[in-house]
Amino acid sequence: MARTNKKSPSWKKKPAVRTKSAPRAARRVVVLVATRKGAWLFHGDTQRKKWRVDGPHFLGQIINHMVLDPRDGRTLLAAAKTGHLGPTVFRSTDLGKTWKEATKPPAFAKVPEGEKGRVVNHTFWLTPCHASEPNAWYAGTSPQGLFCSDDGGDTWEPCSIINDDPQFRSWMGSEQDGTPDGPKLHSIIVDPRDPAHFYLAMSGGGVHETFDRGRSFTTLVKGLDVVGGFDKANIAVHDPHCVQLCPSNPDRLYQQNHCGIYRLDRPSQEWTRIGRNMPKNVGDIGFPIVVHPRDADTAWVFPMDGTTVWPRTSPEGKPAAYVTRNAGKTWQRLDAGLPKNQAWWTVKRQSMTADAQNPVGLYFGTTSGEFWMSRDEGKRWECIAQHLPEIYAVETAEIG
């Protein structure tokens, strides 16, 4: 891909800020559901009322993420491993009719004999690069590493400084740190105005941004809380769960963190904890956060129980999404259609997403293998599928 350095921050240029602008023409939605035991594609009709299920793909394999390239509308990548086989990436250019394995999946550099090198356990996150860089992708792994591909996901190389940088390595911690199945590099977000500017998040290890394609990074943790007793100045203890950039205002980011919900309006470098405005009995702990494709004041979260031993279930067994329509000043509960009680599942960080239709469709998958959607921005929820394996990721693609 053609890579050039851009030194001026994106927000110094005139941003293409649009709020509540006109929606795009309706297209057909395909929802990509990645689970602990395989992947499924749900093809919606034009009204998003009927769904045709296609799957399982890779039955028995752990699929952490599945993403369709919006730049060509045909390249579909799936990050896979099994319980015991090593990690790989599968590619399809016909919406999953046929798959081909990556020639060179993400892998850390081989170290000299006698030294202990890192080994990719699984690829956790896939992000297409900038619209001007066809076939270029980023991948985040566990243990934490950043990889890139210039050929549509066929071959991957370590990229940027962070995989081997001593400072970053100390922030990443060991495999005993971070999430139970290994610390993860996630939320790789490319600035739509500048291919050299992107964000990434590490659980644990904080949020970081680069303006030179990963040659150098600035840490963005000011304003974020950490678990009680720890020093906020220690980047290693910062645990962002999910970061999203608003397509209608690329200078606004939202974050669901281990310690609350936040908003960041650039060029500020200080996050504001907007989760303080959530109901006290629900709190502001969770994994996913979803932004509206055309309204930067609107975002959705799906809270979980983060008390005592962190059950990571719906609070009180009563699942609900919450929406803010004013950038976090107030939140409204959205639970119509969801179980009223005794529902002890939750939604993981990649398992909730939106489409770009009007009204916006929302989608989430649960740890108990249910796939839910709302075609009216969360006013009412409908269960599309039950009895799937534990759902790890839900992404939408629009085709046709």
Partner 1 sequence: MKVLIPTPLLSYTKVPEIEASGATLMELLADLDRQYPGLRFRVIDEQNAMRPHMRFFVNGEQTFNIRQSLRPTDSVQLVQALSGG
Give me the residues that bind partner 1 (CB under 8 A), please. 82-86, 88, 101-103, 105, 107-111, 116-120
Give the side-chain half-sphere CA count within 13 A for 163: 23
To partner 1, the closest distance from the beta carbon of 172 in angstroms equals 17
Alpha-carbon Rg for the chain in angstroms: 20
Cβ distance to partner 1 smaller for residue 182 or 250: 182
The SS3 assignment for 285 reads: coil
Chain mean position to CA 135: 20
- Given CA atoms 163, 165, 170, 171 in this order, what sign does their dihedral have? negative
Cβ distance to partner 1 smaller for residue 14 or 116: 116
Rounded Cα distance between 121 and 118, Å, is 9
Give the side-chain half-sphere CA count within 13 A for 284: 26
The SS3 assignment for 122 reads: strand
Cβ distance to partner 1 smaller for residue 105 or 173: 105
Cβ distance to partner 1 smaller for residue 145 or 315: 145
Contact 288, 302 (CB under 8 A): yes
- Six-digit token string for 379: 């006013």
Cβ distance to partner 1 smaller for residue 147 or 168: 147
Residues 6+ apart with CB under 8 A from 206: 171, 219, 220, 221, 224, 235, 236, 238, 240
Give the side-chain half-sphere CA count within 13 A for 42: 24
To partner 1, the closest distance from the beta carbon of 146 in angstroms equals 15
To partner 1, the closest distance from the beta carbon of 119 in angstroms equals 4
To partner 1, the closest distance from the beta carbon of 285 in angstroms equals 28
Cβ distance to partner 1 smaller for residue 107 or 242: 107
The closest of 358, 300, 362 to 327, measured between CA atoms, is 300
Cβ distance to partner 1 smaller for residue 110 or 387: 110
To partner 1, the closest distance from the beta carbon of 155 in angstroms equals 12
To partner 1, the closest distance from the beta carbon of 203 in angstroms equals 22
Residues 6+ apart with CB under 8 A from 140: 123, 124, 125, 127, 146, 147, 184, 185, 186, 187, 188, 200
CB neighbour burial string for 262-279, b if at least 16 within 10 angstroms, e if fewer: bbbbbeeeebebbbeebe
To partner 1, the closest distance from the beta carbon of 169 in angstroms equals 16
Chain mean position to CA 70: 16
To partner 1, the closest distance from the beta carbon of 389 in angstroms equals 11
To partner 1, the closest distance from the beta carbon of 84 in angstroms equals 4
Cβ distance to partner 1 smaller for residue 117 or 267: 117
To partner 1, the closest distance from the beta carbon of 116 in angstroms equals 8
Cβ distance to partner 1 smaller for residue 113 or 231: 113
Cβ distance to partner 1 smaller for residue 84 or 280: 84
- Six-digit token string for 194: 């500048």
Helix runs in 148-228, H state only: 166-172
